[in-house]
Chains A and B, each alone.
Chain A
Amino acid sequence: MSGKGEKEQVYARYVASGKTIEHLASWGKTLAEVMNPEGKPEVLDDVLVLDASYANFSGIIAASFFAEFGAEVIKIEPPEGDPTRKMTPFGVNVKGVGIPFMVEGRNKRYLTLDLRNSEEHRKDFARLAAQAAVVIETFAAGEMDSWGIGYRQLVQKNPGLIYIAITPYGQYTENARHFAHLPDSDITSQAGSGLPAQVGDPASSPEPYNWPLKAGMWAGWYISGLSAALGGSFALVHRQTTGEGQMVDVATMDAYSSMVGFPAIIGYTWEQARPRIGVLDFILYPYGLWKCKDGHVVIAAPRDHDFRALLKILGLWKLEDDWRNTPDRIPDVLDQAMILHKAIEEKTIQYTADELVKKALQYSAKAARSKWRGGGVPIVMKVMTPPMAMQSKQFAIRRVFQEVHDDTLGKFVINTNFVKMSESPPRVKWVTCDIGKDNEYVRKKFLQER
């Protein structure tokens, strides 16, 4: 890593010319200043979002994205609080609030309305919705409608309303009706949309390692939340041009399969389901995980010239003849692919992760300056745990983590600034979680109560 005064190392051929490096040195400095979010306008500061999601983080996550881009977001929950407050790893909480709820409490307002039980509160909700740009809800399909506050009722008073509904099977089709009251969770969204089927060891391996395996993060809920926010943003652009709102329907059983698109196409063209293949990849090789002296590294060197470079830096050139071409390395015969995998591992375990990363970078830097163009870019990166990633200088300079302070929750660090934008960046202004904290504020501002 380059410190002050040290020359920045370059690993791409086209960037390596003197004039370009000079330009990029000043361009990099300009960007670091330009991309600072402080004091910039907020893109959605004309937008009111009502998050009426219940027991479902995908709604909360979608609302967070709008909040980070500057919308006024009101989280609506019953007096006892949304059950999502209590979903937290191993039960760890701060004054009754779980960690995920704290993380997603960014820039939110909290209003208590008992939509399930109170006719009065439903009226309040309808009055709020008449002024809102976006409503998000995760109740059973048709439930809000049966309470008189569904899309088709609210849109009467507010034709510009964008109504985002998130459920396992969506708002239409026979399954949507049949499974309307089947609740949502992250793990069922992952399973129903096909993610775990692609993770795990081959069928011949011992149990449970040959089972399908869930992603170790909320892949179902975060993908569904992102899809809802993205769909909602398309609808916001349409509303900005035409004044017209619409309904946005997200089915969490689509989360993974519709985001990556591969399952349906492979199911159709191959007429089979892919088997699980452990640490191998089904298109590229080498492209995966290896053990090293002090942990694990990932190595990506799938193109032929990248592969040759990798063999050189690991001292494995003797293998070149057998594995020269991409088709030789495509791991469609697992046992054969594992021969190469193990040969690479015999070398990687002799070095620490830092040594391997350095070897690869040195090779790439040299190849970038070389006139011989077959240099290749073998890429190695240490497998970081979240705490290790928090120590990274890169992410510190780019302000990926931010310390926030709340009277109830105290001080803590959250992940933020997921995209840098020069004019209207997302940001975190505050994080709060108290139930009903903004009851008075919301009622005064939007319901003309004193």
Chain B
Amino acid sequence: MEEYFSFTAKLFDPSQVVQKPEVLKGIRVLDFSHVIFGPTATRLLANFGAEVIKLELPFHGDLWRPATYWGKYWKHSNPLWHFVTQNKYFVGLDLKKPEAKDIIYRLAKDSDVVAENFAAGTAEAWGVGYSQISKINPRVIYLSCSTYGQYGPLRFYPGWDLLAQAASGVLSLTGYPDTEKFYKLPDYLGDFIPGNFGALAILMALYFRKRTGKGQYIDLAQSEALMRLLFHFTAYNLTGMEIGRMANNDPTMVPASIFQSRDGKYLALACATGKQFAGLCNAMGRQDLVNEKVYTDPFERLKPANAEALKKIVAHWLKSLNGEEIVRLANDQGFPAAEVMDDLQICQDPWRRQRGSVILFNDEMYGGLVMAGPSAQLSKTPARTKWLARPVGYHNRLVLKKFLGISEEEIEILEKKKVIGTFDDRPGLKPPVYYNLDGDPIFNYGREGKK
């Protein structure tokens, strides 16, 4: 039989990804969502082949478009935005205009999924909520994303990722005990994790619809999605114990902390099993510890006094080794260890490039951008990046003509009435200055020969 890693190398060959089928081909998503939470749910669908039509207010566009790290733009775009809105169709449409409502209802009629994450009640107020869209399209799967949910006394409370982190209990857990030092989870994780839950719920609804023909309404509260990630509630309920902030220690394993090596590297090291602990003791040359009563039984080892003593031994030993040596020993002896990776290391890591979890994507408008690939690699229907973000209204003609059969003449009238429109001349909203939009066949879809 073929050697395993040679078999898997072929099975997952990143160069074959574009030729493989897309699982959500033909699934249309009408996407009212903005910023990160809702757009992440629909972006994941777009990675797997769904046609996601992202609606934005002409001129202004999505609130997140200009919001880049420390105000640093890349080719007049927000580089982070490319990750959040890859593979989408960008339509600039002013919902306040009656003609726009008509276009939306026509798009909604043929859509499989509709997604929104306005403040609760706003979509209903605008006539594009589930109670209205489901009348036009009873088979629709409608995802409403919010901080606290669509019913209950807090439903109208405004919120973002940060507020969900605070309300769920998550934010109180990262930091140093017996101090006032604590920190939010970084990079709007309180949006990204719930966004992944949103995609999961939509897939379950698609699966259900195929079996029964029924669409449904999904009410996803980001605070509740975050709460699903904590065992702290049960710990408190059973023992009255608050785990609280544990600095760099994982209270469920010993040792399990971030340490510093001789060469100043930050190293995470853990022992999840007795076998791994024996491996660590071996590496430390401290086989005597394996048979010490307080360390043999994992429940005993986890008691705070024992854990602290053991942690000190490990920390002292690690100070005598370089980071690379520690990882090599961990690999030889079979216990978990990993260096803390930063932005640059993740970007340049050859393993991630080979794997396709960091890719260099070549875009027709923006050129090369190194960005994250999927969290899960699928051998037959892999996720992929097809294009990066586009300026507001870039796909107006393509979507209206191709999907709704609206003529060039009608489109020009809609433009004059400001029902549809494109971007303000601001970074984050506009194309790169070097880019010739007039010559772009997609932006000018169906307008060939007119100019």
263-284 of chain B: CB within 8 A of chain A: 266-274, 276
The answer to whether B88 has its CB under 8 Å from any CB of chain A is no
Binds B, one of A124-132, A267-275, A442-450: A267-275
Report the bound CA distance from A294 to B330 in whole Å.
45
Contact across chains for A209 and B162 when beta carbons are under 8 A apart: no
Assuming the contacts A198-B187, A418-B224, asked whether A384 and B169 have C-beta atoms less than 8 A apart, the reply is yes
The answer to whether B115 has its CB under 8 Å from any CB of chain A is no
Contact across chains for B252 and A269 when beta carbons are under 8 A apart: no
Contact across chains for B184 and A237 when beta carbons are under 8 A apart: no
Cβ-defined partner of A14 (8 Å) among B125, B167, B245: B125
- Closest Cβ neighbor of A65 among chain B residues: B200
Binds A, one of B337-345, B405-413, B418-426: B337-345
Contact across chains for B203 and A233 when beta carbons are under 8 A apart: yes
Assuming the contacts A27-B131, A271-B344, A415-B230, asked whether A385 and B242 have C-beta atoms less than 8 A apart, the reply is yes
Q: Which residues of A contact B182 (CB under 8 A)?
A: 289, 296
The answer to whether B295 has its CB under 8 Å from any CB of chain A is no
Cβ-defined partner of B152 (8 Å) among A255, A270, A398: A398
Cβ-defined partner of A424 (8 Å) among B129, B204, B223: B204
From residue B443, how far is it (CB to closest CB) to chain A in Å? Answer: 24
Contact across chains for B381 and A12 when beta carbons are under 8 A apart: no
Binds A, one of B76-84, B98-106, B392-400, B431-439: B76-84
A-B contact count, CB below 8 Å?
Answer: 637
Contact across chains for B258 and A191 when beta carbons are under 8 A apart: yes
Contact across chains for B379 and A213 when beta carbons are under 8 A apart: no
- Closest Cβ neighbor of B375 among chain A residues: A227
- Closest Cβ neighbor of B179 among chain A residues: A209
**Range, interface on chain A:** 35 or more
Most buried by B among A185, A224, A417: A185
Report the bound CA distance from A142 to B9 in whole Å.
12
Q: Which residues of B contact A317 (CB under 8 A)?
A: none
From residue B380, how far is it (CB to closest CB) to chain A in Å? Answer: 4
Contact across chains for A259 and B193 when beta carbons are under 8 A apart: yes
Contact across chains for B203 and A236 when beta carbons are under 8 A apart: yes
Cβ-defined partner of A213 (8 Å) among B5, B9, B228, B248: B248
Contact across chains for A94 and B124 when beta carbons are under 8 A apart: no
Interface SS majority for chain B: mixed
Contact across chains for A412 and B237 when beta carbons are under 8 A apart: yes
Report the bound CA distance from A192 to B355 in whole Å.
15
The answer to whether A436 has its CB under 8 Å from any CB of chain B is no
Report the bound CA distance from A88 to B168 in whole Å.
21
- Closest Cβ neighbor of A54 among chain B residues: B273
Contact across chains for A183 and B166 when beta carbons are under 8 A apart: no
- Closest Cβ neighbor of B271 among chain A residues: A185
Assuming the contacts A214-B250, A237-B206, asked whether A390 and B236 have C-beta atoms less than 8 A apart, the reply is yes
Report the bound CA distance from A398 to B146 in whole Å.
14
The answer to whether A311 has its CB under 8 Å from any CB of chain B is no
Report the bound CA distance from A410 to B212 in whole Å.
38
Q: Which residues of B contact A110 (CB under 8 A)?
A: none
Assuming the contacts A43-B207, A248-B376, asked whether A260 and B251 have C-beta atoms less than 8 A apart, the reply is no
Report the bound CA distance from A121 to B348 in whole Å.
43
Cβ-defined partner of A327 (8 Å) among B8, B71, B243: B71
Q: Which residues of B contact A262 (CB under 8 A)?
A: 69, 80, 83, 187, 343
Contact indicator per residue, chain B 38-80, by CB within 8 Å of chain A (1) or not (0) = 0000001000100000000000000100011111101000011
The answer to whether B322 has its CB under 8 Å from any CB of chain A is no
Cβ-defined partner of A274 (8 Å) among B250, B253, B343: B343
Q: Which residues of B contact A177 (CB under 8 A)?
A: 5
Can you sample 10 A-B contacts with CB below 8 Å? A28-B151, A214-B248, A216-B243, A237-B207, A238-B23, A259-B375, A261-B372, A265-B370, A283-B69, A393-B153
Top 7 nearest A-B pairs (CB, nearest first) are: A267-B347, A231-B376, A216-B173, A91-B302, A191-B268, A198-B186, A273-B342
